[in-house]
Structure 1
């Protein structure tokens, strides 16, 4: 799980009123510079989450598509690796321990300074520095050293053969001449970045929007969308309202709101398959949620199929772990069917007996715990309410509560959370940070404080070999252990839906991770959009 900052949101009713007032007071496309919604060379899209920082040294853009920056490699529409700041795919030695990258020539940062090997070395060494506050630095654990050979070649030496290493090098490159001259954690580069990407940040109005202009000297060609704005709209209903009023050109929406635009001929809906899951953390520090019997009972008490049908309206699939059922990494036989009778028997056998009010009790402890979800996120709210309803039928009383991440994060060790995660790049990318016991309490990593030695061993085995059969066996072990010892109740994998004005060509979607909207969605390749004739 990657840490992200979600600042306090106002009540949904107030936010809706403000959004409608703003829409009524300004005409789409009427801004002084002609960059508002509907302008021919601009686009304004609504996203749900705001980044904590725009520095790749602190984790921004680590999965690619950062717009301000480029990595050595990038992912195309089919999620295949292609060269970006590297001139070609890396040369890898037979033992899988050395990766050599030849760099693209003539690339410049947006301040006009040349890009070179020193910037690549600086970026990776800085991220790996213990003083750098990057919660994702374990993703580069395999790196032993990175060195420059001249100004156009970079060589990575690994500690062990790490099969997905090349996919880690979509990580954006920061300029040593700027970021290297200031505090990596607090310096101005974190909010005023300089990169080699297709867009340049012009303004970041915290809690409101990020504004970009096209980089005319971009090595991949100047984008046709000259001005691009990401409006931060955390409430789903408000986002839909602003899209309908013409205040936005596009937005990510939950299924129930996306379907309200079906009859609008001027808009088009894009569905993106994803590895994005919703799960309930069951923290070991909670006397009820940390009980293995309660966890196993909830795992079969939940009706995942009903959630897909009623909450997602078919735009997704049941989740039994972090790996989707249609992935080649999914371990067949780890599916769990909805079985309320089995759930009750598990609890009975473990000594959790129904009380007078139907809520189970064991050794004087009521089977009751809180479940937090993010304010304004309707999908999380609906999942939380459905989960609590299913649990109630088994005799477990779950109290759902809404809050911001600032409210939720300090409670994660003892309170359950309706969380999200998922990465399509490789099973190591999400599972290690989700389940590794040593990462418990490390920000949003291992939010459930899960501790399973067999899982720890399998996770290490999966990342320390490039043998596909050995890796599949390792991740099958992880999934099998989650059946016996579920520290989370996985609910659904969600297809992301985006509604966009039908005025641009070349729009498409990728298979997406959990963190979506900012660098995913149909605007993952906004630099390639062309206006329709």
Structure 2
């Protein structure tokens, strides 16, 4: 094995490219057979989630990785990161200095994969249906600042925003802003099932068994007009029950690459005991993990309980013992590799301390031990999640201040229950929609947020988040983000735990692997090819 480690440049500027484009372009196609990529992401349709792949509903990294291949957006993040560039559009820009009016011009002769023309009216329709449906999954929150949309003629569309938002071009690059046809997507109802249609790089054909998607065959869209260069004729994305079976498929040559989520033990083994013909690639990542709280639940309604947990949790021990070198402790919602990061939790609570936690509970007259259940999903972030939550439980219980239990639930049931407020304490991961500090704050604190949380901080929602979005120079928003991170550390609606690295493993005949997963964990299957780079 030749172990390839992609250099991890310091993210010094928020809008500077997160990866430096280097090397030569990789030509070539699939060599007569589709490339097969494995994932442990699982996709199921249920009564609670009948339309998992509708852009108006989908708000999950795994599902977005299917949508990005098939549904086109006006802008997209380029190969090496940085500012969004036009994709379905030929040009986009703010037309005012206040970042309140944003204009895009569609590419000429743009069509959906079935040959139907894509017009400015389709863009307006697609985004207005997201806002009209306003799914409780949280996706519409990214577009909720839109006031009105104008479709001017065949190609021109203008967005008028309620308040200034310098991050708006990034939001248009996410699948929730995907352009869909009114022929296939109703204006006020979700499209059930797994089929996706758009004008993106690929068409798709899902294979479904017992209400679960087992694979997707992506075929190059001959009508695609956009910014990306497609380096293959087709890719199959195959879903595995666990990382072990995915690794066996790679070893047997049944798949060409395995991506999220590799287990820490697999990464260590591939690094220290190389397999012939297999390469391990590290790519920059901005994933975080955290505990979140239903702040109306009796067990954690008192802020002192959440603060005591923040004072007790030993992040370093969890990262070291459960995840090894693939995770580092995190003391803020904003990762340490983003320039506005502040160690707000460490600044407030310091090293893990039972005495400090006991004092917080005693001063608030909270009876101990506090009884609570930590909920986690068993099949969404990898098998190590169970070990992590066992470690969290043990840390809390060893203090004598808590009587904690853990409960694991499959993702298809976990996410709906979490949104309903069934869990007092639960664990989630966050892969950014776009690499800006706003996307580590607003999805948790703003209205229509991803968590569907009852927690409200008026200073954050009404002053600080809007103030940060007025700054076109994102570094100038640092004071607002500093205060936001301090608010989270004080009131603890969420408790950051760690941030992670990303790895993929692949056959050494596959090219473009280092570009196939970006910092936000977006799969870019069009980068993959066969042969020599």
TM-score by length of 2: 0.80
Q: Partner residue of 2:15? A: none
The question of 1:185 aligning with 2:180 is answered no
1:298 shift after superposition: 1.7
2:33 maps to 41
Classify the secondary structure of the residue corresponding to 1:380. helix
**Cα distance in 2, alignment partners of residues 167 and 62 from structure 1:** 15
Structure 2: any 5+ residue segments left out of the alignment? 1-29, 44-50
1:280 to 274, 291, 307: 291
Superposed, 1:125-524 pairs within 5 Å as: 125-130=128-133, 135-172=138-175, 173-179=178-184, 182=186, 184-187=188-191, 191-205=194-208, 206-220=212-226, 223-252=230-259, 253-262=262-271, 263-332=274-343, 334-335=345-346, 336-347=349-360, 349-350=362-363, 362-363=366-367, 366-376=369-379, 377-395=382-400, 396-408=402-414, 409-410=416-417, 412-423=421-432, 424-436=434-446, 439=448, 445-447=451-453, 449-462=454-467, 465-466=470-471, 468=474, 471-509=477-515, 511-513=518-520, 516=521, 520=522, 524=523
Deviation at 1:186, TM superposition (A): 4.0
Which digits, 9 at most, give the CA deviation of each residue in 1:61-83, with x for residues without a partner? 77997100211111123322222
Find the residue that maps to 1:66 and give its secondary structure. Answer: helix
Q: For residues 491 and 338 of structure 1, what CA distance do their matches in structure 2 show?
A: 13
| Cα distance change of structure 1 residues 290 and 243 upon mapping to structure 2, 3 Å threshold | farther
1:491-511, Cα deviation, whole Å (9 max, x unpaired): 101112211122122222455
1:312 match: secondary structure? helix
SS in 2 for 1:176: coil
1:207 match: secondary structure? strand
1:527 — aligned with what?
A: 526
Is residue 41–residue 224 contact of structure 1 (8 Å, CA) maintained in 2? no
Report what 2:14 is aligned to.
Answer: none
Structure 1 portions without partners, runs of 5+: 1-37, 353-361
Matches of 1:95 and 1:382 in 2, distance apart? 48
Secondary structure at 1:489 match in 2:
strand
Shift of 1:185: 2.9
Counterpart residue number, 2:4: none
What is aligned with 1:24? none
Task: State the distance in 1 between where 2:330 and 2:103 align.
Answer: 38
Aligned residues: 471
Aligned mates of 2:340, 2:266 — CA distance in 1:
32
Any conservation in 2 of the 1:117–1:148 contact (CA below 8 Å)?
Answer: yes
Cα deviation 1:452-503 (Å, max 9, x = unaligned): 3433345543455236466322221121012222122211011122111221
For residues 64 and 343 of structure 2, the distance between their equivalents in structure 1, rounded to whole angstroms, comes to 31
Q: C-alpha separation between the residues in 1 aligned to 2:92 and 2:86?
A: 6
Change (3 A) 1:162 1:241: same
